[in-house]
Amino acid sequence: MNRGLRAEIKQAKPFGSVAQEAFLSLLRTAALLEHSLAEDLKTYGVTPTQYNVLRILRGAGSDGLCRNEVRDRMITPVPDATRLLDRLEEAGYVERCREGADRRFVTARITRAGLDLLDRMDEPLEELHHRQLGHLSGSELRELSGLLAKARGGS
């Protein structure tokens, strides 16, 4: 049964507006889902942000991406993508090399170790998503995704 956000956070007073309630509900939901993800990722020694970068680089394939392209594709913006890539490189999951005439241009690529890590994580994380959202039907999930895109200003 849906208790509602007010009951969940033990708030006695009504929200200031429906928009405020929706906003806070969205933040609460995202925080709970991300916390659950972070707990599962601890097993693999990566954070949700690092996992996001590894998925981005896996999707980029052998061409790789420059730091700014990685940063622009991230779900949660970070102020310093360089340090994030440094940590992943130190762990052996990412490699970077300078290419082309402009030596400032550095391409990041996922390594075999990074791909192997993601391969080990794929099924357990799919199970996590099922535990988190499996009680919603496919049409409800599509509707939710559409509403969230609309809230972000998308189409």
52-75 pLDDT tens trace: 999 999 999 999 999 999 999 999
CA distance to 62, 66, 106, 109, 120, per residue, from 102 (Å):
20, 12, 9, 18, 36
pLDDT band at 35 (very low <50, low <70, confident <90, very high): very high
Q: Please give the average per-residue pLDDT across 39-55, as a whole number.
A: 96
**Could you read off the pLDDT of 127-143 as tens digits, one per residue?**
999 999 999 999 999 99
* In the predicted structure, residue 96 carries a pLDDT above the cut 60: yes
Q: Please give the average per-residue pLDDT across 20-33, as a whole number.
A: 93
Burial class (CB in 10 A: 0-12, 13-18, 19+), 24: middle
**Tokens matching residue 58:** 């896996």
Amino acid letter, residue 29: T
Give the whole-angstrom CA distance, residue 125 versus residue 72: 23
Looking at the chain, the whole-number percentage of residues with pLDDT higher than 90 is 73
Query: Of 22-26, 52-56, 60-64, 148-152, which has the strongest mean pLDDT?
Result: 52-56
What is the per-residue pLDDT for 33? 96
Domains detected in the chain: 37-123 (1.10.10.10)
Q: Please give the average per-residue pLDDT across 73-87, as a whole number.
A: 91
